[in-house]
Amino acid sequence: MIKPNYHIILLGAPGSGKGTLAKYLIEQYKFKHLSTGDMFRKVIADNTPLGQQLKNIVATGALVSDDVTNAVVKEQLLNLVNNKISFILDGYPRTPVQAQFLDNIIKPNLILLIDVEKELAIKRIIGRRLCPKCGAIYNIYFKKPKMDSICDYDGEFLIQRKDDNHDTISNRFDLYQEVTSGLIEYYHGSGNLYRIDANNGIAAILPEVVKLIEQ
At a CB cut-off of 8 Å and minimum separation 6, what does 187 contact? Answer: 99, 111, 193
Asked whether the beta carbons of 116 and 129 are under 8 A apart, the reply is no
195 given a catalytic annotation? no
Q: Provide, for the chain, the percentages of residues in helix, strand and coil under a 3-state DSSP scheme, each rounded to the nearest 5.
A: 50, 15, 35
Residues 194, 7: Cα–Cα separation, whole Å: 14
Q: Of residues 30, 161, 162, 195, which has the active-site annotation?
A: 161
Q: Of residues 129, 172, 195, 211, which has the active-site annotation?
A: 172
18 given a catalytic annotation? yes
Asked whether the beta carbons of 5 and 85 are under 8 A apart, the reply is yes
161 given a catalytic annotation? yes
**130 three-class SS:** strand
Q: Of residues 3, 18, 42, 107, which has the active-site annotation?
A: 18
Q: Of residues 94, 123, 124, 129, which has the active-site annotation?
A: 94
Write the DSSP symbol of residue 155: -
Asked whether the beta carbons of 142 and 197 are under 8 A apart, the reply is no
C-alpha distance from residue 137 to each of 27, 128, 145 (Å): 19, 7, 9
94 given a catalytic annotation? yes
Q: Of residues 123, 124, 128, 129, which has the active-site annotation?
A: 128
146 given a catalytic annotation? no
Q: Active-site residue numbers? A: 18, 94, 128, 161, 172
